[in-house]
Chains A and B, each alone.
Chain A
């Protein structure tokens, strides 16, 4: 069974607009963490934001925020004021307990000038 599902293979957004990238997850472990990574065309994986399953508030890091809806098992990434440099692949990932990260299939974001 897919643990992490990203249903948007590709997304387009106009520069300076906000965009939401979807992520749903599946786990029965009460303790888990959710991550978003960015992978530009150069290939390196860049950590963006983290949300713990017990965190009461949605995580925010600069222009990135994570819309965490625990009951719906969703952890969508919101990027505000998109920039051309935001064009990249975005991966949602989950860690159950203290173990490995499992990644979704990714969403390719293209920012239009």
Chain B
């Protein structure tokens, strides 16, 4: 399977625990995005990387959230001291963006990691 993969698909944790999600993008894609989606809502942007550089972070991303993409390939999203309000689907997406090359820049999404904080 050469699509975007996310792990774990489901995570149940107790309030106050730390959780980490991993995303493996499509191999030739240089951009990687994290979104959060709660029930009945559209995906909300959290952050994105171009290669290993984190280019933008949403104000939604409190200091309990940290994302990395150390080698410009896979990425991790860590949530420290989880709260019940963190319960959501965390979506990862990747895309290819090349300077001077026109393309739609569509995002290819993984199946998401569903977090439940008890």
Contacts and interface: CB of A to CB of B under 8 A. Distances in A.
B106 A35 contact: yes
Interface string B82-99: 000000010101000100
Task: Place the interface of chain B in its size category.
Answer: 20 to 34
B42 A43 contact: no
Contacts of B108: 47
B110 to A, nearest CB: 8
B109 A44 contact: yes
A104 B37 CA distance: 12
B62 interface: no
A50 B56 CA distance: 23
Contacts of A95: 105
A99 B55 CA distance: 9
A45 B104 contact: no
Contacts of A4: 42
B104 A98 contact: no
Contacts of A43: 89, 111-112
B111 A101 contact: no
Interface of A: 4, 33, 35, 37, 42-45, 47, 50, 52, 91, 93, 95, 98-106
Given A44-B111, A95-B105, 10 more contacts: A42-B111, A43-B112, A44-B109, A44-B110, A45-B109, A47-B108, A100-B45, A102-B45, A103-B35, A104-B42
20 contacts: A33-B104, A33-B105, A35-B104, A35-B106, A35-B107, A42-B111, A43-B111, A44-B109, A44-B110, A44-B112, A45-B107, A47-B108, A50-B106, A91-B42, A91-B43, A95-B105, A98-B97, A101-B45, A101-B107, A103-B42
Interface of B: 33, 35, 40-45, 48, 56, 89, 91, 93, 97, 104-112
